[in-house]
Amino acid sequence: MIIDIQQLADSSEIGGSIAIVGCGAAGITLAIELTEHFKDVVLLESGGLEFEQETQRLCEGTILGHAAGSLDTSRLRFFGGTTNHWNGQCAPLDAIDFEPIEGRAFSGWPFSKDEFIPFYRRAYGYCELGEYQSASRFIEDARPTVREMIDSDEFELTEFRFSPPTRFGQRYRAQLQSSDRLKIYLHANVTDIAVADNGGSVTALEARTLAGKKFRVKASAYVLCCGGIENPRILLNCTRYFPTGVGNGNDLVGRFFMDHLAVFGIGIAPQIESFDYRLLAVHLEGTIRVKIAFKNSVDVVRKPGRRGCSLILGYDLPEHLESAFDSPAYKAFQQFVRYARLKKLPPNMLDTGCAVLDDPRAIAAMLGYRLSERAGMSTVPKAIEFHLEGEQAPNPTSRVLLTDAVDALGVRRAGLDWRISRQDRDNLYESAMALARGIGAAGSGRVVVPMLANEDQSMIQTAWHHMGTTRMHDDPKQGVVDRHCRVHGLANFFIAGSSVFPTGGRVNPTLTIVALAVRLADHLKATVKRA
């Protein structure tokens, strides 16, 4: 059942066995899992079923450190959350990401990848990725050619699978709506967390609408699923019982912010034209899109100062489409599409519209190509471009904090002080240089690396993957939540999502977010009494 909380009387009380805050990938997965077991699950969503500008403005915040895009466009605040603009690229974390590495601070997860694989299997279903498998046949098929293409033992082959992408709100709305075990409350913004007098458990959540109505949500257990920025923001804002914020007794909430470090423009001029670079483009495995890429080998990741890094084939247009791709008409068309997804019009509507009408042939050519690409019929490119997505080391000075600005609910806004260390940057540079050396040694081409061997970080871009701000660790001095995602010191308060990642690995986080939500659901089913 979906209820707009604005329709309820002011000061109403809502109750259930489990209260989930946030309707993104984690919250919706938890709701589906938990309604199999509990008869009265409550799901709170800050926004509505569709994009609303006024609610989205609650996400606005300040960028204090490295440029990380704006906080209000990197995530979405309506039913389905940020999966509403997700590109669908998925891969499980590598086994080494879970391992504590000797001499490396803040490394490892409280469990191994082997223990986590059953949850990845179930997460594949939610993300519509087919059956879980450690590697597809494409990797084996590609291996001999790749050996000729790159002469290096610093890389291994890896693959990404693409979700359709699953828009969790749209995909699972009917299923959730038809459940008589679940109540979804829209426009409910959590503004405070009430804690028992002994400080050992949460007793209620205080929620408000933008129109000013107040509500109280009571449950046996509570799960916060609002993402890597909003989870710490909520905890830090709730200072009624704990002066430094909920779960922040050791000053860890908001710290260890990580993103994936993206660098574009690693170009390859092929020396041997017969190489079929299509093996690194998107393939179809049934209906699932699969893409092979390089990653830093385990031996490289273990080296001091090195981390995981993916090297992914990017710009792969054939020559005759380069001008169409670069045309102002196609750029304007893309802008229209991006804004249309947000149900908005571009700010410079007239200019953009005129630009689109200037060259409809360029737009048609690009759309035709994109369709053929989806059908696995794209042609061999003239030049090849890779981009890097590198892991960032957990760093306590890289953090989400509160600024003095407040939103429409009177809640302090987030500031993001993203710090990238010299080591993080050097790992990207070394990975790109290793690719260049490997391609040169094979005699298959020459590589242009858009980075210098210095401290310049200007070419590093955000991947919009907000991680680590309520990190998981069994020791309360090193983590906000324990291995079961329970906030240390609070018996019935849990956090789901990428904010609990102790390390971020090199892969996109959504699949792991969903797998962690499935794992948490199993734990809640086993430990929380049914009402």
Rounded to the nearest whole angstrom, what is the least distance from the CB of residue 284 to another protein in the complex? Answer: 34
Rounded to the nearest whole angstrom, what is the least distance from the CB of residue 377 to another protein in the complex? Answer: 32
Query: How is 318-379 classified by DSSP, letter by letter?
Result: -GGGHHHHHSHHHHHHHHHHHHHHTT---TTHHHHHHHHHH-HHHHHHHHHHHHHHHTT-PP
Rounded to the nearest whole angstrom, what is the least distance from the CB of residue 469 to another protein in the complex? Answer: 35
Q: Confirm if 17 and 220 have CB atoms less than 8 A apart.
A: yes
Q: State the Cα–Cα distance between residues 388 and 261, nearest whole angstrom.
A: 8
Looking at the Cβ atoms of 219 and 449, the one nearer to another protein is: 449
Starting at the earlier edge strand, list the strands of the sheet with 412-417.
Answer: 61-63, 412-417, 399-406
Q: Which residues bind another protein (CB under 8 A)?
A: 151, 433, 436-443, 446-450, 452-453
Looking at the Cβ atoms of 268 and 511, the one nearer to another protein is: 268
| φ/ψ bin of 188: left (φ > 0), alpha (ψ from -120 to 50), beta (otherwise) | beta
- For 41-154, strand residue ranges (E) read 41-44, 61-63, 89-90
Q: Which residues pair with 265 in a beta bridge?
A: none
Looking at the Cβ atoms of 200 and 443, the one nearer to another protein is: 443
Rounded to the nearest whole angstrom, what is the least distance from the CB of residue 301 to another protein in the complex? Answer: 20
Rounded to the nearest whole angstrom, what is the least distance from the CB of residue 146 to another protein in the complex? Answer: 16
Report which DSSP code applies to 100: -
Rounded to the nearest whole angstrom, what is the least distance from the CB of residue 448 to another protein in the complex? Answer: 4
User: C-alpha dihedral over 215, 219, 225, 229, to 10 degrees?
Assistant: 50
The sign one gets for the Cα dihedral 200, 504, 412, 59 is: negative
Looking at the Cβ atoms of 354 and 453, the one nearer to another protein is: 453
Looking at the Cβ atoms of 267 and 376, the one nearer to another protein is: 267
Closest Cα to residue 48, out of 16, 80, 20? 80
Closest Cα to residue 403, out of 389, 417, 420? 417
Q: How many CB atoms lie within 10 A of CB 531?
A: 12
Q: State the Cα–Cα distance between residues 60 and 229, nearest whole angstrom.
A: 11
Looking at the Cβ atoms of 363 and 442, the one nearer to another protein is: 442
Looking at the Cβ atoms of 190 and 311, the one nearer to another protein is: 311
Looking at the Cβ atoms of 432 and 524, the one nearer to another protein is: 432
Residues comprising the chain, all counted: 531
Q: State the Cα–Cα distance between residues 392 and 478, nearest whole angstrom.
A: 18
Looking at the Cβ atoms of 297 and 378, the one nearer to another protein is: 297
Alpha-carbon distance values, 438 to 66, 387, 441 (Å): 31, 16, 5
Rounded to the nearest whole angstrom, what is the least distance from the CB of residue 407 to another protein in the complex? Answer: 43
| Cα angle 301-302-308, degrees, rounded to a multiple of 5 | 15
Looking at the Cβ atoms of 453 and 531, the one nearer to another protein is: 453
Rounded to the nearest whole angstrom, what is the least distance from the CB of residue 432 to another protein in the complex? Answer: 9
Rounded to the nearest whole angstrom, what is the least distance from the CB of residue 150 to another protein in the complex? Answer: 11
Rounded to the nearest whole angstrom, what is the least distance from the CB of residue 265 to another protein in the complex? Answer: 9
